[in-house]
């Protein structure tokens, strides 16, 4: 399963519909965001129970503000509809996977 597109309108529904979902707050002009994108695609293929949604700050600016996104890339993990953890910045794939596993344990 590839990543999902998140919008300001679909955000709440995505949180409710998915047991584990990670939102990647990003922008096309952000080099670290672009570098992290293929890592998240790989993770979405490997961790079938984890959904990853990409939320473009330029196109959909409201949700990031309400969730305190101040830098990008920012990953926010929701578990059972609740915000569990946030990770900011470009990190290796192994660190993202470890963060996910610790957050859902």
Query: Residue 36's Cα: distance from chain center in Å?
Result: 11
Q: Which of 4, 20, 27, 30 is catalytic?
A: 30
Cβ atoms within 10 A of the Cβ of 71, count? Answer: 10
Picking from 60, 98, 53, the residue whose alpha carbon sits closest to that of residue 75 is: 53
In the annotation, is 80 catalytic?
no
Helices then strands, each counted (H, E), the chain = 4, 5
For CA atoms 2, 96, 30, 79, give the dihedral sign.
positive
Q: Which of 14, 15, 22, 33 is catalytic?
A: 33
In the annotation, is 30 catalytic?
yes
Overall residue count recorded for the chain in this entry = 105
Active-site annotation, residues: 30, 33
């Amino acid at each position: 399963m590839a990543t999902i597109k998140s919008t300001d309108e679909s955000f709440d529904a995505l949180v409710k519909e998915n047991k584990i979902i990670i939102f990647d707050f990003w922008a096309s002009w952000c080099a670290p965001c672009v570098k992290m994108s293929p890592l998240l695609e790989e993770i979405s293929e490997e961790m079938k129970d984890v959904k990853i949604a990409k939320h473009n700050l330029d196109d959909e600016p409201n949700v990031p503000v309400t969730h305190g996104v101040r830098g990008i890339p920012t990953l926010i993990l929701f578990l059972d509809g609740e915000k569990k953890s946030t990770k900011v910045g470009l990190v290796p794939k192994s660190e993202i996977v470890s963060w996910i596993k610790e957050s859902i344990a």
